[in-house]
Amino acid sequence: MKLPPGQYLTEDFPVLTAGPTPRVPTDTWEFVVVTEAGEKHRWSWAELMALPSEQPTVDLHCVTKWSKLGTSWQGVSLDVLLDGVDTAADYVMVHSYGGYTTNLPFEDLRNGQAWIAYRFDGEDLHPEHGGPARLLVPHLYLWKSAKWVRGLRLTDEDEPGFWESAGYHDYGDPWREQRYQGD
């Protein structure tokens, strides 16, 4: 077993939240991708459920230093969602219900690295853990895996999100221990 530097192993699943937990009913839920040209792509909950899903088992690394290994998820790969999206964007701002944002390079969402996840451990994703659906991008610190995901804005320029603008690292690679700006 190998952990990224500075991390410790935990068996439970701590709940971290920067605000009130949004309760988003699936009948009004939607996921919207806006390209750098302003083109919008929308999926309702039913449309998301109709897409082919995957069941990734991944390790989670939180910047507050806990790691949880071998977690089981179900969700739709971003490769599927972005398949028909015409873009040459280099960056993404992820938006959540409740107002949270986080930024990452567009390529980190591609090639089997990221999912819109709606089941955890065989059950519907609880609102505490970001349900009905969250971004799952496990190769970066967990603050990048935005809970209550609502959409992606694809951009040419990198902009800092909620934590990235308040001292946290722009990229957040746990294996390079990129916790804070300057790490």
Partner 1 sequence: MDLFSDEYTDGNALAGPLRELFTVDMTSAVGRCVSCGGEGPVAGMKVYAQAPGLVARCPSCQEVLMRLVRGPSDAWLDLRGTMSLRIPMPPE
Select 55 or 165, whichever has its Cβ closest to partner 1: 165
Residue in 57, 165, 175, 176 binding partner 1, rule: CB under 8 A: 165
Identify the CA nearest to 153 among candidates 36, 29, 43.
36
Q: Which of 14, 50, 107, 111 is the binder for partner 1 (CB under 8 A)?
A: 14
- Nearest-angstrom CA–CA distance, 109 and 10: 26
Residue 114: alpha-carbon gap to chain centroid: 7
- The answer to whether 65 and 4 have CB atoms below 8 angstroms apart is no
- The stretch among 31-39, 111-119, 131-139, 161-169 that binds partner 1 (CB under 8 A) is 161-169
Positions 108 through 147 that interact with partner 1 (CB under 8 A): 127-128, 143
22 contacts partner 1 (rule: CB under 8 A): yes
180 binds partner 1 (CB under 8 A): yes
**Minimal distance in Å, beta carbon 5 to partner 1?**
13
Q: Does 4 sit near partner 1 (CB under 8 A)? A: no
- Token code pair at residue 158: 């990198």
CA angle 69, 98, 28 (to 5 degrees): 95
Calpha distance 131→125 (Å, rounded) = 5
Where does this chain bind partner 1 (CB under 8 A)?
A: 14-23, 63-64, 99, 127-128, 143, 162-163, 165-168, 179-182
